[in-house]
């Protein structure tokens, strides 16, 4: 017989992907090993803290505005599409993140919180940025001929 609780627990603890669960008010209640590796905070440092610890200061207003919309509507405007956002590590270094969310509701349909599944895409983001710059340079060269 399959023990789904054990499987679910092992998926959360053993995956390399960062998994974070935050309550309606944005307080971190689940922080797996992937989150520790990605952000540099041990679970004991992150649990009970605001999501602000991983959001660069200049992006917090936009984040919380979007968060409030999701809490009010119960839906994200991005659907199931992954979203790219900047993030910040415990040491203050910045990174590019790709993440998707799952909105968790109680039996009455009230939102309890949000689970996020995150990965570092900084190398990919930097490569794309470099390619865009190179394309612009080549276009200028062609126009100058």
Q: How far is CA 20 from CA 39, 100, 140, in A?
A: 11, 11, 44
Tell me whether residue 128 is in a domain. Answer: no
pLDDT (0 to 100) of residue 95:
96
Tokens of 99: 């993440």
- Confidence label for 142 from pLDDT (cuts 50, 70 and 90): confident
- Confidence label for 116 from pLDDT (cuts 50, 70 and 90): very high
**Domain CATH number, residue 67:** 3.30.450.20
Domain that holds residue 98: 4-120
Q: What angle do CA 87, 91, 96 make, to 5 degrees?
A: 20
The count of structural domains within the chain is: 1
Where are the alpha helices (H) located in 15-121, listed in sequence order? 33-39, 43-46, 60-73
Q: Please report the DSSP string for 3-31 in residue order.
A: -HHHHHHHHHHH-SSEEEEEETT-BEEEE
Mean pLDDT of 119-130: 79
Tell me whether residue 136 is in a domain. Answer: no
pLDDT (0 to 100) of residue 75:
86
pLDDT (0 to 100) of residue 124:
72
Tell me whether residue 89 is in a domain. Answer: yes
Q: What angle do CA 45, 48, 50 make, to 5 degrees?
A: 95
| Confidence check: pLDDT of 20 > 70 | yes
| Confidence check: pLDDT of 126 > 70 | no
pLDDT digit string, tens, across residues 68-114: 999 999 888 776 778 899 999 999 999 999 999 999 999 999 999 99
Tell me whether residue 135 is in a domain. Answer: no
pLDDT digit string, tens, across residues 44-81: 999 999 999 999 999 999 999 999 999 999 888 776 77
| Confidence check: pLDDT of 123 > 90 | no
Tell me whether residue 141 is in a domain. Answer: no
Q: Is the pTM of this model over 0.95?
A: no
């Amino acid at each position: 017989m399959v023990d789904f609780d054990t499987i679910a627990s092992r998926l959360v603890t053993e995956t390399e992907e960062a998994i974070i669960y935050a309550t309606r008010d944005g307080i971190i209640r689940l922080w797996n090993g992937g989150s520790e590796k990605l952000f540099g905070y041990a679970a004991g440092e992150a649990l009970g803290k605001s999501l602000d610890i991983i959001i660069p200061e200049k992006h917090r207003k936009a984040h919380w505005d979007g968060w409030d919309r999701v809490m009010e509507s119960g839906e994200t405007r991005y659907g199931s599409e992954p979203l790219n956002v900047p993030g910040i590590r415990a040491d203050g270094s910045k990174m590019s993140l790709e993440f998707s969310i799952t909105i968790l509701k109680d039996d009455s349909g009230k939102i309890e919180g949000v689970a996020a599944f995150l990965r570092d895409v900084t190398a990919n983001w930097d490569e794309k940025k470099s390619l865009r710059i190179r394309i612009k340079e080549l276009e200028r060269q062609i126009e100058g001929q």
